[in-house]
Amino acid sequence: MNKLYHLLVLWLLGGVLHAQQDPMFTNYHFNSLVFNPAYAGANEHLTANLMHRQQWVGFDGAPVTQTFTVHSPLKTPRVGVGFSLVHDQIGPTGAFDLAASYAYRMLIGKKKNLKLAIGMQASLMNWHTDILEINLEHAGDPSFQENYSRWMPNFGVGAHLSGSRFYAAIGCPRLVENDLRKPSEGQVGLNAKTFRHFYTALGAILPVNGDQVMFRPSMLLKSVGLGSSFRTDDAFKNIGSPTALNLDAAFFLRQTYWLGITFRTAVQAQKSSSDSIDFWAAWCMRNGFRLGAAYDLTLSKFQNAGRNSFELMMGYEFDIKVKKVASPRYF
């Protein structure tokens, strides 16, 4: 096993390193339902999106993630529903997460020109390992003597506020913290569990040249463990994670092309560290299809190995004629 594989195994099974468990995305604007159920139906018509992310290309066991989301308003515009499927594979561990979302939307403000959506989500995750296939230096290590598979129900909440030129959102897709591995009393083994992830998103759309050139600054803040047991449980006292921040600047050209750049960094009180600078683009076709791609240039110590990441995306906007005439979706 190479050094990265050792790192990933300790990260996922031991929980002794500073890391976030939820997968990250550069094209998160097109994948918002994954981290906020209140986004269901936000596009005002049926929308589907498929995404593939390959992180640290060339490293054995590096994270690979696929997501599929579909969401739509119902006959009443106040209600939106959505479904998401996430497959995440990191080294010898993998997870399938199936979620159903419900959002209730209402107009607020003196002029009723703001839309507030409150969302709820129910999900079922299968977490599994294939650690018996790992070649160990110490074959008798008791922590690596059997594979694991767990089915874990969960639920989440979120809120999404938007106007014609801005949005603000907060979501927690999984509120319940589940034990993945916990040794029996008196036994030696590794502890592992899931922790809550909170997402805060802000953004605005600013016209530069009418509707032919629009500028969208935005940010996504991801924090881990607010109110989590790792703050009080001795088994997890050495676990933590820096808050992750995505700062994004994008241009929407001729109501068709997105061109964007993202800076991703860790935010800590004592020491912050840059993770990557990301370039992305999307083509929104007139027939409703959407294609996109992203390439992340690593700024952390992994750059010494020349390992970067990429994403591919494909989506479809149903009832595109209504979308184009009434209200183009900027977020």
pLDDT digits (tens, 9 = 90+) for 133-143: 666 666 666 66
Residue burial 162-171, b: 16+ Cβ < 10 Å; e: rest: beeebbebbb
The mean pLDDT of 259-286, rounded to a whole number, is: 86
Residue 73 scores a pLDDT above 90? yes
Residue 8 has a pLDDT of 47
Quick check: 321 pLDDT over 70? no
- The residue type found at 23 is P
CATH assignment at residue 259? 2.40.160.40
| pTM confidence score | 0.85
pLDDT value, residue 238: 52
Virtual torsion, Cα 217, 22, 230, 8, nearest 10 deg: -120
**Whether the predicted pLDDT of 330 surpasses 60:** yes
**Predicted pLDDT of residue 90:** 86
Per the domain annotation, does 139 fall within a domain? Answer: no
Per-residue pLDDT at 165 exceeds 70:
yes
**Residue range(s) defining the domain that contains residue 175:** 3-15+27-134+147-326
Candidate from 120-124, 232-236, 318-322 with smallest mean pLDDT: 232-236
- Domain assignment of residue 20, yes or no: no
Counted domains in the chain? 1
pLDDT in tens, 43-63: 888 999 999 999 888 777 788
The single residue listed with the structure tokens 């992340």 is: 296
246 within domain boundaries: yes
Q: What is the pLDDT of residue 115?
A: 94
At 251, phi and psi to the nearest 5? -115, 135
Average pLDDT, the chain: 82
145: Cα within 13 Å, side-chain hemisphere: 8
Which of helix, strand or coil describes residue 242?
A: coil
What span, in angstroms and rounded, lies between the C-alpha atoms of 186 and 183? 8
Q: Looking at residue 1, what is its pLDDT?
A: 42
Query: Has residue 2 got a pLDDT over 50?
Result: no
Does 281 reside within a domain?
yes
pLDDT for 309 beyond 60:
yes
Please compute the mean of the pLDDT values over residues 301-311 and round it to a whole number: 73
pLDDT at site 232: 57
Residue 268 clears pLDDT 80, i.e. is over it: no
Number of residues assigned to the chain:
331
Q: Is residue 331 part of a domain?
A: no
Q: In angstroms, rounded to a whole number, what is the distance separating the alpha carbons of residues 222 and 20?
A: 9
Span 78-110, pLDDT tens digits: 999 999 999 998 888 889 999 999 999 999 988
Q: Is the pLDDT of residue 151 over 60?
A: yes
DSSP letter assigned to residue 190: -
Residue pair 274/20 in contact by the 8 Å Cβ criterion:
no
Tell me which of 198 and 322 has the higher pLDDT: 198
* CA angle (281, 305, 239) in 5-degree steps: 85
Residue 264 lies in a domain: yes
Q: What is the model's pLDDT at position 290? A: 94
Residue 142 belongs to a domain: no
How far is Cα 314 from Cα 322, in angstroms, rounded to an integer?
Answer: 20
pLDDT at 6: 46
pLDDT for the residue numbered 269: 62
Residue with tokens 């767990």: 150
Among the ranges given (6-10, 49-53, 163-167, 309-313), the one the predictor scored with the smallest mean pLDDT:
6-10
Q: For residue 294, tell me if it sits in a domain.
A: yes
Does the pLDDT of residue 212 top 50, yes or no?
A: yes
Three-state secondary structure call for residue 16: coil
Per-residue pLDDT tens digits for 181-201: 655 554 445 556 778 889 999
**% of the chain surpassing 70 pLDDT:** 73
